[in-house]
Structure 1
Amino acid sequence: MDKAALLDAVIQNAIDGILTINQQGVVESINPSGCRLFGYTPEEVIGNNISMLMPPPDKEKHDGYLQRYQRTHEPHIIGIGREVRGLRKDGSTFPFRLAVSEVKLVDRVIYAGFIHDITREKESEERILNYTQELEELVNERTRSLKETVSALEEAKEEVSQSLEKEKELNQLKSRFVSMASHEFRTPLSSIQLSASLIDKYATPLENANIPKHIGKIKNAVGNLTNILNDFLSLERLEAGRVEAAFTPFDLVKLSEEITEEMQVLAKADQHIIYQHTGTEKMISLDQNLLKNCIVNLVANSIKYSGEKTFIEFSTEIGPGSCTITVSDNGIGIPEADQKHLFQPFFRAHNTGNIPGTGLGLNIVQRYAGLMNGTVEFKSAINEGTKFTLTFAL
């Protein structure tokens, strides 16, 4: 194959469009790829001005390009890699990258144009541009949303701050009221208790069985009210952070025996509190007043929620590194559904009926035990009784 045939084969099989024009701009040749790009047959293009393949404004200006070169004779390499648009036979246009070179033959000069279709590249660029714009819009939208959220959070923060301030003021008023009311109630209750005792003393010669009965009711009512006030005062002091554990050594057995004796007086008919201590060690270091409050509360609950002619077991044990205190009874027990709420303030089990109480005792016990680095656990079943266990690390 000679060089001319080889060159013709390359041109005919080239992927890019290749065409040649003379100095007047008339197309002399066009390869198959060029025909496919523009939608023409070679016969429809060859012999016509190259401007037929150009959309405005290049269509009108092309002859001027050639005339300027012919007049100035400047090197005529027009836009190697230059992006232009082509006009198809159907009237549509497409982008391509154009390189035009001057070719000097023996007797004349022609111009060769190399056309590389960049439609897909442009579509990709357009998609990327659209994605970029969408992303920018999304970022702007998210930024606006974030600013609105931050603004809403700042407003909510301000509202919460004001609410907390109001709640703080209300809590302070509540604490002052509870403290004032509790102290004010104590004086008349003490007077009622004293008067009931004096009436009991003065009425002894009358030998009327109804007098001691009603005096007993007065004393029980005063005792219940006093317990309620004590619970409210304890809760108020805990809420205000005014309760701190004072660890001092004391005789646990002696304290427990005193509590047993005091609580036995308050027991129902034929109720017996049985105290037992395990081990030879008796001394521990805890807050004696807080511990006594915990034990008294648990024993008082056993008395309230157990019937007559029952036993309440109260035991203490000092072992290596810990102290365990248990109070158990065979009373009404705690419903399983209520057990998870048992230590919440003001909560009372559904089976307590008319038995008096504030629902604060166990909450106070748990918090007092916590102040002494202790825990409270319990086991209970309906009509089978309840067992509370206090455990303190020593």
Structure 2
Amino acid sequence: MENTALLKAIIDNAIDGIITIDEHGIVESINPSACKLFLCTPDAVIGKNISVLMPPPDRQQHDEYIHRYQRTGVPHIIGMGREVTGLRTDGTTFPFRLGVSQVSFANRKIYTGFIHDLSREKEAEEQLREYAAHLEELVEKRTHSLKETIQALRLAKEEVSFSLEKEKELGHLKSRFVSMASHEFRTPLSAIQLSSSLIEKYALPYDNDHIRKHVAKIKNSVGNLTAILNDFLSLEKLEAGKVEVNCTPFDLVKLAEEITEELQMVAKQNQSILYQHTGISSIVNLDQNLLKNCVINLITNAIKYSGEDTFIEFLTEITNKDCIITIKDNGIGIPDTDQKHLFEAFFRAHNTGNIPGTGLGLNIVARYARLMNGQIKFKSNINQGTIFTITFPIS
């Protein structure tokens, strides 16, 4: 009796459903888990054919199995671990895995069905299928989008290549034009310069102020045109990557004194360029031509944008780490709104008025300084002057 009670307790508390039927398919017992799965009570199914818990066409097939058994005496066992469908009393169905075993008891055969609900597994599988289908759809869309993007990139690449080729052609044309213009402009400018000098020489005996005045204007205009031409040539070389840096040791003080003497001759009336050097050494390892261009440009600007009876400070300093070049004037200064654009090509401050210039000089200076690993900075206030500082690291 104790074993029987234990067996009944195990069956009643089993997680899976357990149903027993006789040889004719009549339900003899059903445990609580099976009742919960089929939404039924034991009284509703015990004594009835097991087919009441089967949806079509499983019900008709089961009836055929019973009739065959009655004719032949050979039972049909669905098999172990088969997936089948159950019919609840409310008309809904659910999937389950069925395992059937045959037991001989009291001179008769009893069949026990073990029912494992697959609803959650099937729902998960369906979700996975839907997710997989969604992923496939996304992949297809993304693939299509990627193909369109690749095609667009291919077309863009062709357009860019075409544009670059055109730009390259324009670059060659510009380079040829600048070279041609250089030659064509320099020849007449040299002739004008020579002629003005000869006029000045031949006019000396006449001691005519008007002649000297106009000859000076001619020379000044020739100088301005030459400076403009040089700026365009320098910019063209920078844009074409033709500027080569050739750093060699040279005496900075000697170069600075030559520049000071040269530019003092073109300074305004009573303008003085004051040069001073500090440091125990005067030798630097830079590109002398590029540095000279930078300094001349900055001092020339200081001369242009400062009035008569002023002085321009030109300072050089060599420390253990840097070579520092400073040009300070007391001129018109640079407006705050213009300062952020100062090193852009062709930019000129709004307060320059009729003072001639191309707006290229500072752009060229900054680029030359970078080519020599230097950097340029400035401070400026309106009508209080400007300080430019170029710093080069000592290698």
CA distance in 2, matches of 1:191, 1:156: 51
- Residues 259-278 of structure 1 mapped to structure 2, 5 A cutoff: 259-278=259-278
Partner of 1:26 in structure 2?
Answer: 26
Instruction: Label 1:229 to 1:82 Cα distance change in 2 as closer, same or farther (>3 A).
Output: same
- Does structure 2 retain, via aligned residues, the 8 Å contact 1:268–1:308? yes
CA distance in 1, matches of 2:380, 2:146: 52
Partner of 1:233 in structure 2?
Answer: 233
Q: CA deviation at 1:178?
A: 1.1
TM-score by length of 2: 0.90
1:99 to 2:99 alignment:
yes
Q: CA deviation at 1:3?
A: 3.0
Partner of 1:163 in structure 2?
Answer: 163
Instruction: Label 1:212 to 1:88 Cα distance change in 2 as closer, same or farther (>3 A).
Output: same
Partner of 1:308 in structure 2?
Answer: 308
Instruction: Label 1:75 to 1:22 Cα distance change in 2 as closer, same or farther (>3 A).
Output: closer
- Measured against aligned partners, the alpha-carbon deviations of 1:149-178 in whole angstroms (never above 9, x if no partner) come to 233222222222221121111111111111
Q: CA deviation at 1:217?
A: 2.1
Instruction: Label 1:19 to 1:250 Cα distance change in 2 as closer, same or farther (>3 A).
Output: closer
- Measured against aligned partners, the alpha-carbon deviations of 1:285-318 in whole angstroms (never above 9, x if no partner) come to 4433322222211110000111111001112334
- Measured against aligned partners, the alpha-carbon deviations of 1:41-98 in whole angstroms (never above 9, x if no partner) come to 3333233222121112211111333455567777865322211001122221111111
1:121 to 2:118 alignment:
no
Structure 2: state its 5+ residue gaps: none
Q: CA deviation at 1:237?
A: 2.1
- Does structure 1 retain, via aligned residues, the 8 Å contact 2:277–2:316? yes
Partner of 1:366 in structure 2?
Answer: 366
Instruction: Label 1:322 to 1:99 Cα distance change in 2 as closer, same or farther (>3 A).
Output: closer
Determine helix, strand or coil for the equivalent of 2:391: strand
The letter of the residue matching 2:385 is G
Determine helix, strand or coil for the equivalent of 1:389: strand
- Does structure 1 retain, via aligned residues, the 8 Å contact 2:286–2:372? yes
Instruction: Label 1:291 to 1:2 Cα distance change in 2 as closer, same or farther (>3 A).
Output: closer
Q: CA deviation at 1:35?
A: 2.7
Partner of 1:151 in structure 2?
Answer: 151
Determine helix, strand or coil for the equivalent of 2:265: helix
Instruction: Label 1:249 to 1:91 Cα distance change in 2 as closer, same or farther (>3 A).
Output: closer
Partner of 2:182 in structure 1?
Answer: 182
CA distance in 1, matches of 2:369, 2:22: 107
CA distance in 2, matches of 1:249, 1:362: 25
Q: CA deviation at 1:183?
A: 1.6
- Residues 4-15 of structure 1 mapped to structure 2, 5 A cutoff: 4-15=4-15
Q: CA deviation at 1:266?
A: 1.2
- Does structure 1 retain, via aligned residues, the 8 Å contact 2:65–2:76? no
Q: CA deviation at 1:33?
A: 2.9
Q: CA deviation at 1:180?
A: 0.8
The letter of the residue matching 1:220 is N
User: Matched residues, percent identical?
Assistant: 70
- Does structure 2 retain, via aligned residues, the 8 Å contact 1:369–1:375? yes
Partner of 1:353 in structure 2?
Answer: 353
- Does structure 2 retain, via aligned residues, the 8 Å contact 1:16–1:33? yes
TM-score by length of 1: 0.90
- Measured against aligned partners, the alpha-carbon deviations of 1:88-124 in whole angstroms (never above 9, x if no partner) come to 2222111111122222122322222222222122112
CA distance in 2, matches of 1:176, 1:357: 24
Q: CA deviation at 1:28?
A: 2.6
Determine helix, strand or coil for the equivalent of 1:80: coil
Determine helix, strand or coil for the equivalent of 1:348: coil
Partner of 2:45 in structure 1?
Answer: 45
How many residues are treated as equivalent by the alignment? 394
CA distance in 1, matches of 2:55, 2:288: 103
CA distance in 1, matches of 2:52, 2:222: 115
- Does structure 2 retain, via aligned residues, the 8 Å contact 1:179–1:236? no
Partner of 2:64 in structure 1?
Answer: 64
Partner of 1:292 in structure 2?
Answer: 292
CA distance in 1, matches of 2:285, 2:124: 81
Partner of 2:375 in structure 1?
Answer: 375
The letter of the residue matching 2:184 is E
- Measured against aligned partners, the alpha-carbon deviations of 1:316-349 in whole angstroms (never above 9, x if no partner) come to 3344464333221111122333333322222222
Instruction: Label 1:173 to 1:87 Cα distance change in 2 as closer, same or farther (>3 A).
Output: same
Partner of 1:334 in structure 2?
Answer: 334
Q: CA deviation at 1:16?
A: 2.7
Determine helix, strand or coil for the equivalent of 1:133: helix
Determine helix, strand or coil for the equivalent of 2:79: strand
Structure 1: state its 5+ residue gaps: none
CA distance in 1, matches of 2:25, 2:248: 114
Determine helix, strand or coil for the equivalent of 2:255: helix
Alignment RMSD: 2.6
The letter of the residue matching 1:34 is A
1:214 to 2:209 alignment:
no
1:317 to 2:317 alignment:
yes
The letter of the residue matching 2:81 is G
Partner of 2:88 in structure 1?
Answer: 88
Which shows bigger deviation, 5-14 or 328-337? 5-14
The letter of the residue matching 2:369 is A
- Does structure 2 retain, via aligned residues, the 8 Å contact 1:302–1:312? yes
Q: CA deviation at 1:253?
A: 3.1
Partner of 1:387 in structure 2?
Answer: 387
Which shows bigger deviation, 81-90 or 107-116? 107-116
- Does structure 2 retain, via aligned residues, the 8 Å contact 1:76–1:101? no
